[in-house]
Structures are given as structure tokens and as C-alpha cells.
Amino acid sequence: MTDFVPARYFTPLLAAFFFLMFAGDAAAARIGELVQTDPWQQMRRFFTFSDPGLRLGLIGALLFGATCGLLGSFIVVRKMALIGDAISHAVLPGVALGFLWSMDKDPLAILVGATIAGLTGSLVVELIQRTTKIKQDAALGIVLASFFAVGLCLIRMIQNNNGASKITGLKSYLFGDIAVLDRQDILTITAVVIITVLLVVLLYRPLLTIGFDREFAYSIGLPVKLLDGIFQLFLAFSIVVALQAVGVVLVSALLITPAAAAYLLVNRMHHMLWVASAIGMLSAVLGVFFSFLGSNLPTGPFMVLGASSVFLVAYLFAPRHGRVTRWLRHRSRRRDVSNENTLKSIYRILEQGAANGAGNVVQIDKLAGERRVSKAELLTDLRRLRRIGAVDLIAQGRDVMLTDAGLQRARRVVRNHRLWEVYLTNEAAYASNHVHDDAEKIEHFLSEEKVAEIEHQLDYPEVDPHGKPIPGRIGA
């Protein structure tokens, strides 16, 4: 756990926060009050941080982006994405009640109200599942929409009873508006984020255990129910923290999408937490940037699109699981196999002709016959082999000559093939006329060590089951 929160990562971040928070207020209007929207000018304003409202918004975005990524990771690995969605909708009546209670946009009252509503929502889902035969999906749907409807009614009632002045404040909770964040909101968010991060650090291992293997967690005596409760509390917290800037409707996307992107990028949970937090921050900042370019645009959808773009990049280009990277890897592996098969054919022709002293040169027509491909296809393969320096085309492209590197590689493949045939015949008791197809596949993937091991185990055979000589070890 010590590698989880190295202080050195936090120091620069904290410095940036304080700079953004207390830097002198330049003479600039708040984001929402801007009327003229020249995108270039807005972009300049964005990158010079000359707008105090924007500075606060960015701090908030970085903070809750990180928290959402952190907790979203647990949600994604626990397959709770739709639960997160339901709970995020269910906080709406809490927001309205918190507003009613304080009769103002008091962040603390709204935080408490929303957290209570979110927890009540998840409790009701649990209760419906336990006491009736209604299944989880329907229970989630019921809670999501019913709570949301109550919230909508409450908001409309508040709007009816109060002047238009306070409506904007409350309406930003639906689709998000980063411009309404003030210093008090930021302080509340910071406090919640610190508590959440601390709890995640302290409870990292237990939370991981109940997420991956509940039976095991019970068996080692973890308080699973309590931990579940704490996790629900976190979830409500993170939703509430992001609420004002992202909006009730889309906040669940900021939980799921960055974590899902991280899930595609890395394999270990503590790496995933880091990457998801970083992506969450990036998405949030992207959202602030794009919604800042126009005026009076809701922030939430842009943050979601930011997260989705990052996810798309991860989906396509993730080093191991990306679609494009996987396709490229596949292609290069297919080419390797095809290259090696061509080299092997050349070697076998040479082997047959070795007695009449033909050297390293083979006629292309003969090779095409051996490979059973058209001459044009073969030439494409041979040019590829020439690029990697395995063969040379001579006699105006009528003959092909193996280079030293090509010969070595061909010998290696043939050696692998024939050794594997001996291995299957001797050790696995295959009939000697059934071993070729298997060897044909594995010859490309046997590592040097494996081959050495097999050779040792077979006591250095010299011929394969069909009586053909096994080429000696490379360099031997």
C-alpha cells in the first residue's frame, strides 16, 4: 500500500491548486456572464487562467475528476456500473431538499441531503430485492426514476415559490455548470475528496477483497456488510462532489468511462486507480475547456464527451487490449509465419538439391510450385523477405538466394519443426504420420530455451521420424 499515494505526486498538484485558488483576481467576468463568444479569445483566456471563475472551475474539475476515477475503478471491476447510474439519479430529491432546508445554494446542506438521498436509494434497491421477487434491474429502474421524478417535482415547486434568481443555481445540478462553483463549493469538494482518498487508502485491501471475491472476504472474517455500506457512502460522496459541475443526469458517466478506459490500459488494480484518476482529471478539464469556448453551455455533457474520447483512444490503441494494436500485432504475427514458411520451403528445396551442389540459389518457379502459390503472390512475399534481409533476388528476378541471416532463420524453423515431430512421436506417443500438422503450427512459436530443453530431453536426436536430418544448433 505504500506505493499507492507517494507524496511526491501530490506536492506539485497541491501547489497548482493553491496557485489557482489564490492568484490575484484579474478583471474578468464570470463564465456565465460572458455574452460575446469568440472561440479564439476564449481559448486565450482559458490558457492564461485570467478568469477567476475558470480557475475555481478547474480546481473543482481536477479534484472531482480524480475522485470519480478512483471510485469508478471499484465500480467497474465490481460490475456495478448501472447501480452507479441509478444512485446518481436518486440523489436529486436530496439536492432539492437540501436547497429547501437552507433556502440557499448552501453546499453543505446540499451535500448532506444528496448523500442521504443516494444512500436511501441504494437501501431501497437492496430492500426491494430482498423482500420481493423483483430482480435487480427492475429495482434499479424503479428507484432511479421514482426518486428522480420526486426530485423534479420538488425542484419545480421551489422554482414556483422563489424568484428566478435562485433557479439558475438549482438548475445547474441537472446538466452541470462549472461556472456556478464558488470558493465555498471548492472548499467543500476539497474536504470530501480528502476524506474519500484517505478512506480508499486505508481500506484499499479490504475493498479490493470484497470486490473480487466475496466468499473469500467472508471466510477471512472481513465485515463485508459494513464495507459495502462504506463503499455505498463513498459512491454517494463522489457523485455529490461532481454533481454541480457534471449534473445528476450524466455524473455516472464520469464514474464509469474513465475507469473503463483505465481497465483497458492496465492490469493491476492500484495502477488502474492511478490511471483512472488521471483520465478523470483529463476528462473534466477537457469538459471545462470545451464548454468554456461557447457561452452558457452545460458542462456535464462536454465532460462526458471528453471521457468518451479518452475511452475511444484507449479502446483503439491500448498497448495490449486495443483494437488497432491487436490488429497490428495479429498482422505482424501472420507475416512472420508466412515469412518463415517461405524460408522453410527454400531450405527444403536446397536440402533436396544439396547433393547436386546448387548452392544457396533456388528458381522462383520451383519455389512457387513447392509453396503452391502464384508467382505474383510469391514475389510479394519474397520482396518482403528481401526488405528484412533474408533473401536476395538474382538473375533478373528468376532466382532467389538465401542470405546468411535467412539461412539461419530457415534452419531454426526446420529444426523446431523436426524436433517437435520427434518429441510428439517419442514422448507423447503420436503416430509418426500424425505429427506434421501440429509441428507446422508450433514451429513458429517455440522459444530458444524450450527447444534446448526438448533437445536435451530427447538426447540430441539427429533425424526426425521421417528420416530427415535435423539441422544443427545455430552457430554450432
Q: Which is nearer to other proteins, 11 or 132 (CB)?
A: 132
Closest by CA position to 359, among listed 308, 394, 396: 394
**Closest of 278, 300, 280 to residue 288, by C-alpha:** 300
Nearer to other proteins, 174 or 217 (CB): 174
Supply the minimum distance, in Å, between the C-beta of residue 121 and other proteins.
12
For residues 89-110, b (16+ Cβ closer than 10 Å) or e, as one string? Answer: bbbbbbbbbbbbeeeebbbebb
Q: Which residues bind other proteins (CB under 8 A)?
A: 76, 79-82, 84-85, 89, 128, 131-138, 140-142, 144-146, 148-150, 152-153, 156-157, 160, 174-175, 249-250, 252-253, 256-257, 260, 263-264, 294, 296-298, 300-302, 304-305, 308, 311, 315, 321, 323
Torsion of CA 6, 8, 9, 11, to 10 degrees: 130
CB of 56 to other proteins, least distance (A): 22
Angle between helix 404-426 and 323-353 (nearest 10): 90
Contact yes or no for 240/118 (Cβ under 8 A): yes
Whole-angstrom distance, CA of residue 458 vs CA of residue 452: 10
Task: Pick the closer one to other proteins by CB: 103 or 324.
Answer: 324
Nearer to other proteins, 159 or 426 (CB): 159
Kindly report the number of other CB atoms within 10 A of residue 209's CB atom.
Answer: 18
- Which is nearer to other proteins, 41 or 132 (by Cβ)? 132
We find the least distance from the C-beta atom of residue 434 to other proteins, in angstroms, to be 35
Q: How far is the CB of 53 from other proteins (least distance, A)?
A: 19
Residue 82 burial class via C-beta count within 10 angstroms: exposed 0-12, middle 13-18, buried 19 and up: middle
Q: In DSSP terms, which residues pair with 361 in a beta bridge?
A: 401
Q: Which of 110, 207, 211 is nearest to 155 (CA)?
A: 110
Other CB atoms closer than 10 Å to residue 200's CB: what's the count?
20
| Cβ nearer to other proteins, comparing 60 with 322 | 322
Q: Give min distance, CB of 139 to other proteins, in A.
A: 8
In this complex, which beta carbon is closest to other proteins, that of residue 14 or of residue 153? Answer: 153
Query: Which is closer to other proteins, CB of 312 or CB of 395?
Result: 312
Q: Least distance in Å: CB of 471 to other proteins?
A: 41
Instruction: Report the DSSP beta bridge partners of residue 393.
Output: 400
| Amino acid identity at 322 | G
CB of 210 to other proteins, least distance (A): 18
Amino acid sitting at position 427:
E
CB-nearer residue toward other proteins: 325 or 426: 325
Contacts 24+ apart (CB under 8 A), 109-116: 110/173, 110/240, 110/243, 111/188, 111/192, 111/240, 114/236, 114/239, 114/240, 114/243, 115/91, 115/233, 115/236, 115/237, 115/240
Closest CB to other proteins among 114 and 410? 114
Minimum Å gap between C-beta 172 and other proteins is: 12
Q: How far is the CB of 191 from other proteins (least distance, A)?
A: 28
**Least Cβ distance, residue 95 to other proteins (angstroms):** 14
| Residue among 82, 57, 6, 56 at smallest CA distance from 235 | 82
